[in-house]
Amino acid sequence: MRSLLKSKKAQFFILSAFAIVSILYLVSRWIEPYTIIDTSEMVLNEELFVFNNIIEKIKKTVDISINCEEYKLNIDEYRNFVTDYASKKNLRLNFDRQIIEPCNDNILETKFNITLTSEKMILNKEFTYRKSS
């Protein structure tokens, strides 16, 4: 009689463990969609990508310019290009620059204030950049 009682306890233990594991699995599958973070919203917002790209290309424009005259022409041409591009994307770009005088061909130090405005956000960065050697 004792072994029959032990056998029934073992069966109850195994069935209980299986039931508990099954319930936990079902609850975790039910909750899972709420725990996944949706990052697609950031990918759809291209403002941050455009803004960071503008900053990166400003620095590259300064670096590739040979002298002050060429730099002024390059940066003005780039400002016109990105302003037109931003307006086509329904963004408003404020691109201010101030060349630190006297202009040195080897340094080309400039203060920039870049603001990109859209319906969703306003991005602003003010920085000073000098030509890297």
Residue-range domain boundaries for the chain: 2-35, 46-129
- For residue 45, the model assigns a pLDDT of 76
CA–CA gap between residue 18 and residue 87 (Å, rounded): 62
Per-residue pLDDT tens over the stretch 37-47: 767 666 667 88
The two tokens of residue 99 are: 């060349």
Residue 57: pLDDT band with limits 50, 70, 90: very high
Which of 120 and 114 is assigned the larger pLDDT?
114
- For residue 50, the model assigns a pLDDT of 92
Which of 18 and 8 is assigned the larger pLDDT?
18
**Arch. (CATH architecture) of 46-129:** 2-Layer Sandwich (3.30)
Per-residue pLDDT tens over the stretch 66-108: 999 999 999 999 999 999 999 999 999 999 999 888 888 888 8
